[in-house]
A and B are shown apart, each in its own frame.
Chain A
Amino acid sequence: MLQYAAIAMLMLGLYGLLTQRNVIKIIVSLNIFEIGLNLFIISVGYVDDGIAPILTSNFNNNGLIFVDPLPSALVLTAIVIGVGTTALALALANNIYQKYGTFEIDEMGEE
């Protein structure tokens, strides 16, 4: 089920990107899209009854079922990249506001 939720979230973000004309709302939509994507990546690695892929002291660690650790590692990278782009997008939004005095793309009267 989680995969469907993730895809629904992806589509929600895409809908926002297609319809919104406000710079900040576009950034929010982009973030929703990315979070949906991250959720989907995690869901791909889930195994029924799996535990977090960390070796701990109380067990002999063989024979335990771990969830797939690779998607988690990939998501870590994807999240950080998302943070970087969001920071940059917000700085650009600041520049746009200084230049046009508004966040609404339709009111900027250009392109």
Chain B
Amino acid sequence: MSAILLIAVPLLTAFVSILFKKYSHYMLIAVSFLSVFALGYMDLETITIGGFDAPFGIVLILDNYSLIGLYLVNILFFIVAVLNCKEYKKLSSILLVSLAGLNGLLLTGDLFNLFVFLEVAGIAAYLITTTNKKPLATFNYLVQGTLGSSLYLLGLILLYAMFGTLNMSDMAREIGTSGYGAGVTALPFLLMFIGFGVEAKLLPFNSWAKGILASSNSLSGPMIASVYAAAISLVFGRLLTNVFVIEGTLLTIVMGILVFSLVAGEAMAFSSKKVKEILLYSSVSQAALVVLVFMTGFAGWAVYLIIGNATAKLVLFLVTNIAAKQLGDDEVDTFKGLFTNNKVVGLAFTAVTLSVVGLPFFFGFVTKMNILENMFLSGAYVWPALILITSFIEGIYFIRLLLNLWHTDGDSPEVKFDFVLKYVVVVIAVLTMIFGVYTKPVQDSADDLVVYSITEGGNF
């Protein structure tokens, strides 16, 4: 089966669904389920569109890296869609387009096509966040997102002017063989890095994230913090490892941005009094960590970090948003003792949080441990120290949060979680623990995740 169907079918359904508004949410569920199902029948290949081989036409790349990304994003998308389809029926067509956009982002092998899908997915994201009923925050997101993707386009066009191609692998090859120094690509790469930094919530460029995620609901929170964050990080990872060559001064600037984002994110989470803000700043610093790991060259573990984060953030944002909706606000004080009445959800929440922090016997531990080990072996001692310190801060505020959620002196709040949600949350938590203890498959497969067909030339 051709991977193009992952984009074409949701699009076709979206176009049709505006005529049958009553059934559009069934279409959404069916299509998002089918695309998870269909992934099992995809062959790894480079797909040519329109019959023109790269670099003249647009190609889609389905290699191990994009396949694992597609599995992650489609499964998470399906979960979020199922849990919300009744409440947000109106958004079904938009969600279908956003599914097509996310799949396109992960698959595309063309830099300009990536910009188009960035905008498709981006506009869908703006519309998803309008359900927060905070038009000003959405407006900020729109302006900053558009500015970010425009900067990406500016960088891209500079690269085109120099190397005369838009195809990713062709571009990487041209840059490698052109014989110019790293100086010529510094400006375009910096512009593209900033552009993607806006979307990936890296710190100086992410003032939109607070307005969006601090007032998110059970659709927009998990969607933006989990599904979109995973997709954007994966695409960012592909650019960083396959296309960009970052050296010299540029490397210093970029690393500076990342370290600032990592440390400041943790510090802001540490000082927050609202549950959603804690989660939001923690995901800011996690995004910076992912990019950092990609840049230091351990792409396989970065992918595992993304998987761990995306699933964890899905659980955390879902539980928090449902509780916040029923309790009225998301102050830590209101949440005190939340889990004394909801032990199942509480245990799952705890397991996932501990995994994010990176305690032993959880999935997060395996990833963090291996990243640290690999960094030590490669002789870079600054980064492991930094990661350890930030993990320590993270540990403090998350455990403080958990203590608050489990323990109260007064009455504990009443919150009802429905059955489907409990099921999803528990399954994710159990998986986190299984792969935290039974680590062999994770250890063995880390290098296979990042077998790129792109570097082997695709279709030349």
B143 and A41 contact, CB distance less than 8 A: no
A88 and B123 contact, CB distance less than 8 A: yes
Given A23-B139, A105-B136, A108-B136, CB of A81 within 8 Å of CB of B119: yes
B157 and A96 contact, CB distance less than 8 A: no
A50-58, A59-67, A71-79: which lies at the interface: A71-79
Q: How many angstroms from the CA of A93 to the CA of B130 in the assembled complex?
A: 12
B154 and A111 contact, CB distance less than 8 A: no
Asked if B153 is at the interface (CB within 8 A of a chain A CB), the reply is: yes
Most chain A Cβ neighbours within 10 Å, of B138, B143, B211: B143
A85 and B123 contact, CB distance less than 8 A: yes
Asked if B404 is at the interface (CB within 8 A of a chain A CB), the reply is: no
8 Å CB interface, A1-30 against B = 10, 17, 23, 26, 30
Which residue of the partner chain B has the closest CB to A81?
A: B119
A74 and B150 contact, CB distance less than 8 A: no
Which residue of the partner chain B has the closest CB to A110?
A: B136
Neighbouring A residues of B176 by C-beta, 8 Å: none
Q: How many angstroms from the CA of A11 to the CA of B126 in the assembled complex?
A: 25
Number of A-B contacts (CB under 8 A): 67
Q: How far is the CB of A52 from chain B (nearest CB, A)?
A: 20
Secondary structure class of chain A's binding surface, majority of residues: helix
Q: How far is the CB of A63 from chain B (nearest CB, A)?
A: 21
Q: How far is the CB of A40 from chain B (nearest CB, A)?
A: 7
Q: How many angstroms from the CA of A26 to the CA of B144 in the assembled complex?
A: 11
B116 and A89 contact, CB distance less than 8 A: no
- Residue from the list A33, A88, A111 in contact with B150, Cβ < 8 A: A33
Which residue of the partner chain B has the closest CB to A85?
A: B146
Q: How far is the CB of B140 from chain A (nearest CB, A)?
A: 9
Neighbouring B residues of A84 by C-beta, 8 Å: 119, 123
B160 and A17 contact, CB distance less than 8 A: no
Q: How far is the CB of B113 from chain A (nearest CB, A)?
A: 10
8 Å CB interface, A79-108 against B = 81, 84-85, 88-89, 92-93, 95-96, 99-100, 105, 108
Q: How many angstroms from the CA of A84 to the CA of B116 in the assembled complex?
A: 12
8 Å CB interface, B91-142 against A = 112, 116, 119, 123, 126-127, 130, 135-139, 142
A37 and B154 contact, CB distance less than 8 A: yes
- Residue from the list A34, A37, A77, A92 in contact with B139, Cβ < 8 A: A92
Neighbouring A residues of B153 by C-beta, 8 Å: 37, 41, 78
8 Å CB interface, B322-362 against A = none
B135 and A40 contact, CB distance less than 8 A: no
> Number of contacting residues on A, CB 8 A?
31
Q: Please, what's the 1-or-0 string for B197-220, where 1 marks a CB less than 8 Å from any CB in chain A?
A: 000000000000001000000000
Most chain A Cβ neighbours within 10 Å, of B123, B142, B211: B142
Asked if B382 is at the interface (CB within 8 A of a chain A CB), the reply is: no
Asked if A44 is at the interface (CB within 8 A of a chain B CB), the reply is: yes
Given A17-B147, A44-B157, CB of A85 within 8 Å of CB of B136: no
Q: How many angstroms from the CA of A16 to the CA of B127 in the assembled complex?
A: 25
Q: Please, what's the 1-or-0 string for B6-36, where 1 marks a CB less than 8 Å from any CB in chain A?
A: 0000000000000000000000000000000
Q: How many angstroms from the CA of A110 to the CA of B126 in the assembled complex?
A: 20
Asked if B161 is at the interface (CB within 8 A of a chain A CB), the reply is: yes
A74 and B143 contact, CB distance less than 8 A: no
B143 and A26 contact, CB distance less than 8 A: yes
Neighbouring B residues of A100 by C-beta, 8 Å: 136
B142 and A77 contact, CB distance less than 8 A: no
- Residue from the list A44, A85, A89, A110 in contact with B160, Cβ < 8 A: A44
Q: How many angstroms from the CA of A105 to the CA of B211 in the assembled complex?
A: 14
A95 and B119 contact, CB distance less than 8 A: no
Neighbouring B residues of A99 by C-beta, 8 Å: 135
Q: How many angstroms from the CA of A105 to the CA of B134 in the assembled complex?
A: 13
Which residue of the partner chain B has the closest CB to A10?
A: B154
A30 and B147 contact, CB distance less than 8 A: yes
Q: How many angstroms from the CA of A89 to the CA of B160 in the assembled complex?
A: 30
A71 and B157 contact, CB distance less than 8 A: yes
Which residue of the partner chain A has the closest CB to B116?
A: A77
B112 and A30 contact, CB distance less than 8 A: no
- Residue from the list A41, A77, A108 in contact with B157, Cβ < 8 A: A41
Give 6 A-B contacts (CB < 8 Å), ordered by A residue: A26-B143, A33-B150, A34-B146, A44-B157, A44-B158, A95-B130
Q: Which 5 A-B pairs have the closest CB atoms?
A: A95-B135, A44-B161, A96-B135, A92-B139, A81-B119
| Sample of 8 more A-B contacts, CB < 8 Å, known A70-B166, A92-B130, A95-B135 | A17-B143, A17-B147, A26-B143, A40-B154, A40-B157, A81-B116, A85-B146, A110-B136
